[in-house]
Structure 1
Amino acid sequence: MFVSYDGSACPDFKGFMLLMPAVSVGNVGQLAVDLVISTLGMSKVGYFYTDCLVPMVGNNPYATTEENATELCINAEVYAVPSKQLAVLQIRSPFIKNKYRPFCQTLLSWVKSCGFAKVVLLSSSHAYQRNDQQLCGTSLRYLLSPAVEKTVGDQMQRLNRRELEQIVTFPGVNDDKTFQVPGGGITRLLFTESCSKGIPIIVLLKFCSEGDNIPDALALSDYLNEWLQLTANQESSCSLAKSSRWKIPSSWKLLFGSGLPPTLF
């Protein structure tokens, strides 16, 4: 559950939006959340203590000076910017086997107790497992729970967004359809659990492959920003101009290791 950063009482999150990633293919959701935290200069307000994630500790991923570079981070931390009524839960390690469901139950219990207005989940899915419909057009999709279908659905329509297509569960046996998110981690479970509990949730996802997923993270961040306008909009339609609004975290310098030592040559 939530543990305050300085030991004080839990901040008042009533009416806030909770943004979080799914630990999914390419870590695209986590990278996109990194961009939001870094760009908005969000303050850490606490930790999400759970035994469902692999334990980890590291240096401050958003360090800007030598002084704050020595601060420590752990596997699940909560950041906030009250002026935008936005809270972010960043997850930095994978889930322990068979711990998906307990984590979702704990998370949704916290969401209800804090009175979050809605949850936005950033995710990704294997590009190679798309069906014929999903191969056409943009690689970005969304999912809406019934609690936000009318309000947010209208906004998505105005932005010409594409909802994640449903597929036949058992071809040749029946015509029942459902949505699948291969490689999406907790995405499907968290979405269905939120729907059953009446919790407003919006899933934004991108089809991608493992590799250099920085472009995918920038695209997903832009997709989020076009809807919520978290940062200043660019007039240009150029993808490079759009992505220039994001502040790259210092930790991204080590995404692919520290490079080859000159002494090898």
Structure 2
Amino acid sequence: MFVPCGESVPDLTNFTLLMPAVSVGNVGQLAIDLIISTLNMCKIGYFYTDCLVPMVGNNPYATEEENSNELSINTEAVLHIHLQTHSAYGGPQTLSVQEYKSKSFCEKLLAWVESSGCARIIVLSSSHSYHRNDAQLRSTPFRYLLTPCLQKSVQNKIKSLNWLEMEKSRCIPEMSDSEFCIRIPGGGITKTLYDESCSKEIQMAVLLKFVSEGDNIPDAVSLVEYLNEWLQIIRPCSDGPTASALPWKIPSSWRLLFGSGLPPALF
């Protein structure tokens, strides 16, 4: 499934895999864009499987004319070594899964995670805001999920952040006697990945935000900063009371996020 760029497969033992889920507003994908661009991650390979929609385009993280014409596909894996914590972060850019193949893809991805030696997976996702209940409407729009085997090692840190765990809701909302379960409407493969990781005892965390479709750039920035509270990927430029905002680097591809504008020939 994983094809390295070089002659050998990179050693990913104890790495943290950051990945998006294609979800409402593409918030997870935009958040990963910010991380890749800010950390200037380098490409180490790509995922090849018939479970994904084949896509190709220009380099979405081009910084100069020389690398702007490089071709990029939708499932490239990138890498960054975090020198302060001696940990590493990497992840595929975007995952457009073929219809009816989401479970198969999740199984293949998790099998690769186990064989590669990655320590844990963090999935960035989103969910429809209009599905929130009254309690969720009155609280923060962020939620998290931890698989049981990850909960043991990070629950103290998560508790110190005062984060809210994703609540259970009725499996069939229209039925008052329906059982309660975790539901992530609009979350794409998020729930499947979480369930499979629970059953396979894989360390996974899901961080998501309740959003609506539209200009979801602010949602992506806030989701990345939510993640940064935990991982401390980057820190403010100064530590004083007037510390500036986190210096996230906007990728060049965002210039065309809403199209290239109206052609002058129309007028």
Question: TM-score normalised by the shorter chain: which range applies?
Answer: over 0.9
CA contact (8 A) 1:30 1:90 kept: no
Deviation at residue 10 of structure 1 after TM alignment: 0.8
Please name the residue that 1:78 is paired with: 77
Letter in 2 for 1:226: E
Summarize deviations over 1:105-158 as a string: whole Å, max 9, x none.
100000000111110000000001111221111101100000111222211110
Please, which runs of 5 or more residues in structure 2 have no aligned partner? none
Please name the residue that 1:67 is paired with: 66
| Partner Cα separation in structure 2 for residue 227 and residue 93 of structure 1 | 24
Please name the residue that 1:43 is paired with: 42
> What SS is found at the alignment partner of 2:214?
coil
Deviation at residue 166 of structure 1 after TM alignment: 0.8
Structure 1 runs (4+) greater than 6 angstroms displaced = none
Instruction: Pick closer, same or farther for the CA change 1:54–1:113 going to 2, 3 Å.
Output: same
Summarize deviations over 1:39-86 as a string: whole Å, max 9, x none.
001000000111111111000000011110111111201001134532
Equivalent of residue 201 in structure 2, options 164, 189, 198: 198
Letter in 2 for 1:42: M
Letter in 2 for 1:2: F
Please name the residue that 1:160 is paired with: 162
Name the Cα RMSD after superposition.
1.8
Please name the residue that 2:92 is paired with: 90
| Partner Cα separation in structure 2 for residue 13 and residue 169 of structure 1 | 37
CA contact (8 A) 1:142 1:161 kept: yes
Please name the residue that 1:254 is paired with: 256
CA contact (8 A) 2:25 2:211 kept: yes
Deviation at residue 93 of structure 1 after TM alignment: 5.0
Matches within 5 A, 1:137-176: 137-169=139-171, 171-173=175-177, 176=179
| Partner Cα separation in structure 1 for residue 145 and residue 3 of structure 2 | 30
CA contact (8 A) 1:57 1:73 kept: yes
Deviation at residue 241 of structure 1 after TM alignment: 4.6
Letter in 2 for 1:94: S
Please name the residue that 1:2 is paired with: 2
CA contact (8 A) 2:20 2:95 kept: no
Is the deviation greater in 210-219 or in 90-99? Answer: 90-99
CA contact (8 A) 2:32 2:93 kept: no
Please name the residue that 2:186 is paired with: 183
| Partner Cα separation in structure 2 for residue 136 and residue 157 of structure 1 | 20
Please, which runs of 5 or more residues in structure 1 have no aligned partner? none
**TM-score when normalising by structure 2:** 0.92
| Partner Cα separation in structure 1 for residue 122 and residue 241 of structure 2 | 25
| Partner Cα separation in structure 1 for residue 96 and residue 194 of structure 2 | 18
Letter in 2 for 1:233: P
> What SS is found at the alignment partner of 2:122?
strand
> What SS is found at the alignment partner of 1:67?
helix
| Partner Cα separation in structure 1 for residue 88 and residue 31 of structure 2 | 15
| Partner Cα separation in structure 2 for residue 16 and residue 90 of structure 1 | 14
| Partner Cα separation in structure 2 for residue 91 and residue 245 of structure 1 | 20
Letter in 2 for 1:151: S
| Partner Cα separation in structure 2 for residue 172 and residue 87 of structure 1 | 43
Matches within 5 A, 1:223-238: 223-233=226-236, 235=239
Deviation at residue 3 of structure 1 after TM alignment: 0.4
> What SS is found at the alignment partner of 2:65?
coil
